[in-house]
Amino acid sequence: MTQPLFQAEITNLPLLHRGKVRDIFSVDDQHLLIVATDRLSAFDVVLPDPIPGKGQMLTQISLFWFKRLAHLSPNHLSTLRLEDVVPNEAERAPLKGRSMIVRKLEPLPVEAIVRGYLIGSGWKDYQKTGQVCGIDLPTDLPLAGQLPEPLFTPSTKASVGQHDQNMDFRWLSQKIGKEYATRIRDTSLALYREAASFALERGIIIADTKFEFGHDPRTGEVVLIDEALTPDSSRFWPADSYHPGTPPQSFDKQFIRDYLDSLGWDKKAPAPSLPAHIIEETTAKYAEALQRLMN
C-alpha cells in the first residue's frame, strides 16, 4: 500500500474542484480525472488525518459495482487510461489505483439516497413523526430494523462544510422535472436492490446508500457518476452480528462518527485529530468490506 494521499497534485491538468474526498481535474472538453484521496469526512467536515489506502479501496469497490450493475444504469467511465492523461511517472505513481478518467457530464443537484433499514437521520425522523422524509411507516419499528420496502429519500447536495437536507420526491420533481426525478428514483431503487442482495450473500448488509447522477445533454441519458456503493457512501453492516434494536457494528465510517461523538465535538470545522489506533481500525474495516465483496 502506498503512502497516504491527502491531496492530489498534477502539474499538467487544471484542478477543477477539491471535494470532501475526491480531487477533480480537467483532461479536455469531454473528460475529467477523478482522484479518490485518503481524506475522510464526518458530519460534512473533512478530518485532518488521512486513512491509508482508503482511496484505492473506494476506487476498487466503485469499479466493481460500475461493472456489475452496468445493465441497470450507464456510468461515467471512459476508455482512457491514467498514463494517457498524466505523462509524468513521478506524478502518476501516487494516483495509481485511486483514479478514474470519466466522461464530463452535467451533475444533477441531488443526493439520491436509498434506505433499506431504519438508522441515522431516518431513525431520528421516525422517532419524532412516525415517518421518514414524509413517508408513513408502520409503528414500533426498532432501531436498525429492516424497512418493509427500500425507500427513496433524496436530499440536497451540500458543498464542503455544509449539511445535506433530507427532502421528498415532490421537491426533487420540482428541482429537476418529474421525468428525470422518476428515472433517478427507479434506477436508484433497482441498483440498491440488486447490490444489497449480492452483498448479503457475502455477509454484508447494505443498510442504505447514496448515488449521484449526471445528465448527458447529447444523448439525454441519466448516468451514474462519482462513486457507487462504497463504505463512504453507504452503511455496511456485518450480517453475522446484526440484531435489530441495537446499534449495529459496521464496515464503514460510522466507526469514526461514533468515536467523534464520544468526544463531544460540536461537528464544526476544524475537526479533531484521530489517534493511530482509530485510523488503523478504520483501514481494517474498509479492507474487510472490500475483501468480502470481491471474494
Same domain, 98 and 164: no
> Quick check: is 222 in a domain?
yes
Do 119 and 84 lie in one domain? The reply is no
Residue 203 has a pLDDT of 96
Residues of the chain with pLDDT under 50: 160-161
234 & 111 share domain:
yes
Q: Is 126 exposed, middle or buried (CB count within 10 Å of its CB: 0-12, 13-18, 19+)?
A: buried
Question: pLDDT at position 83, please?
Answer: 96
Residue 277 lies in a domain: no
Q: What is the pLDDT of residue 36?
A: 98
Q: Which residues contact 170 (CB under 8 A, 6 or more apart)?
A: none
pLDDT at 48: 96
Same domain as 132, residue 234: yes
Same domain flag for 76 and 156 = no
Residue 198 placed within a domain: yes
Q: Would 294 be classed as within a structural domain?
A: no
- Cis check for the bond before 275: say yes or no (omega within 30 of 0): no
**Among 104, 121, 144, where does a domain finish?**
104
Identity (one letter) of the amino acid at 186? D
What is the structure's pLDDT at 164?
62
What is the rounded distance in angstroms from the CA atom of residue 190 to the CA atom of residue 165? 23
Residue from 257, 220, 24, 232 nearest 106 by CA:
220
**Residue in the block written with cell 484521496:** 37
pTM strictly above 0.95: no
Q: Could you tell me the CATH number of the domain that includes residue 180? A: 3.30.470.20
Q: Count up the domains in the chain and report the number.
A: 2
Last residue of a domain, one of 49, 77, 104: 104
- Other Cβ atoms less than 10 A from the Cβ of 91: the count is 15
Q: Same structural domain for residues 170 and 194?
A: yes
Q: Which domain holds residue 134?
A: 107-253
Nearest Cα to 213, choosing from 170, 236, 180?
180
Residue 269 lies in a domain: no
Residue 163's pLDDT is 53
Q: Strands across the sheet with 15-18, in order?
A: 15-18, 22-26, 31-36, 99-103
Give me the pLDDT at residue 94, please. Answer: 95
* CATH, residue 33: 3.30.200.20
Domain end residue (candidates: 104, 122, 153): 104
**Residues 135 and 170 both lie in one domain:** yes
* Rounded Cα gap, residues 230 and 65, in angstroms: 9
CB atoms within 10 A of CB 128: 8
Q: How far is CA 86 from the centre of its chain?
A: 26
Per-residue pLDDT tens for 196-225? 999 999 999 999 999 999 999 888 899 999
* Contacts of 120 by beta carbon, 8 Å cutoff, 6+ apart: 208, 235
Residues 181, 169: contact at Cβ < 8 Å?
A: yes
